Structure formats: C-alpha cells, structure tokens
Copies of this chain bind each other. A is one copy, B any other.
Amino acid sequence: MTNKLNKVNLTKSEEDYLKALFQLLIDDGLATVGNNQLAEYMNVAPASANHMVKKLKSKGYVVSEKYGKLELTEEGAAIALKLIRRHRLWETFLCDYLNFTWDEVHEVAEQLEHIKSEKLVDELDRFMDFPEKDPHGEVIPNAKGEYAIVPKVTLSSLEEGMICKLVAVNDGSVSFLKYVSEIGLALSSEIKILEVRAFDNSIRIQYDERSEAVTKKFADNVFVHVINC
C-alpha cells in the first residue's frame, strides 16, 4: 500500500527515461541496453542516467546488477506503454484535427504525453474513434497497453529487386521527416529496390514513377512490409 503510493505520480523525467529504455529494448530487437546507451538516447551525461536508473530501481521499475545490463520490470514496461499510447494518440490528434504536419507533432506530443489524466487520453481515443496507427505508421496501444507487434523491417535490410510498402518511419528527427515528404514518399508508398551500392550501402529506389538514391542512414529509418522478392 505505502509501496503503491510511492509509485504513483512519476515525474516527467522518470517517465521519459522509462519510455526511452522501453524503446531501446524493443526497437533494437533483443539487444541488451547499458547505462551509457540510455544516456546517449536521452541526451544526458552518463552520470545523470546512472542517477536516474538508481532511482527507478529503488521504485521497482528497473532491474539491473551493478555494471550489468538494464531491464524493465512489468510495471516499468506498463508505464512506458501508457506513455507511448498517449504520445501516439496526441500525434494523431495534432495531424488529423489541428493541421500539424508529421514532422511537427513529435515535439509537442513529447510534452502532451505527460499530462496526468486517464480520462483525457481515453476520451481523446474515443473522440478520434480509436485510431490504430499514428501519423508515422506506428501502432497505438489500447487502454490496456495491448498492441499488435509488427516486426520492424528497415528499408536498408532489403536486397535488389525486392518490392515493399512503406509502413512506418522513425519520428525522431524533423529533418528526416521533411526529407521523406520532400522526395515524395509517404505511408503506403510502394517501393522497389533498384540497386544497392556496396561502396556506401546507399540504395536506389523506385516509387510512383520516380527514382531516388538514398543513404543507408535514411533507409535505416524507413520501415517496410516486404511484398515481393
């Protein structure tokens, strides 16, 4: 009980760290995640992350041995998922109702996701008629934190001749999202891999009667469903 009370009302910072750890743990597949990796992702010094990890461990959200890899407890993961749900619902709202473009929503959603009100997010969900994906193609977890796990295949992992559909993009960088739009790509675009250059791993792709060469870094941030190989 006192235990439980200790756990409510996390700070914005605590929430962001839990979300970051969750993203690192799932986005990088089954990768292990260390303190400095978390620090880099959060744009803070290693000491800062270390300090926060200690606190989150003491609160029962994170588990790790000294000098060991970081893991989330079930409770920690549940909080992260709630945050992701809120973040994606707000992004969807901003795009679909408030004329925001997909490169503008992330920063604002990063703030909105911390508003403390269960009713707010659930009513927002209902108001939008329970959308399934956010503007970047990511699945929105439902009120129970359930969500369909879509295996993430990056455009960069495909080989010459393969055809795929753009299903999601990484929303972390505004300049990346602008670039995607500017070269005429969007969610659901059908893309064919024309050529992969071994020299720099750049890729020439074809879509909508258009052909562009993109870097590996670019292709790493584009997620696709393979249609044909």
Contacts and interface: CB of A to CB of B under 8 A. Distances in A.
A87 to B, nearest CB: 13
Count identical subunits in the complex.
2
Contact residues of A: prevailing secondary structure = helix
Task: Report the contact-size class of chain A (Cβ under 8 Å from the partner).
Answer: 10 to 19
Contacts of A127: 97-98
Contacts of A99: 123, 126
Contacts of A124: 98
Interface string A58-101: 00000000000000000000000000000000000010011110
Contact of A120 (B98, B119, B126): B98
A120 B111 CA distance: 12
The 3 closest A-B pairs by CB, nearest first: A98-B123, A108-B117, A111-B115
22 contacts: A94-B120, A97-B127, A98-B119, A98-B120, A98-B123, A98-B124, A98-B127, A99-B123, A99-B126, A100-B119, A100-B123, A104-B119, A107-B117, A108-B115, A108-B117, A108-B119, A108-B120, A111-B115, A111-B116, A111-B117, A112-B112, A112-B115
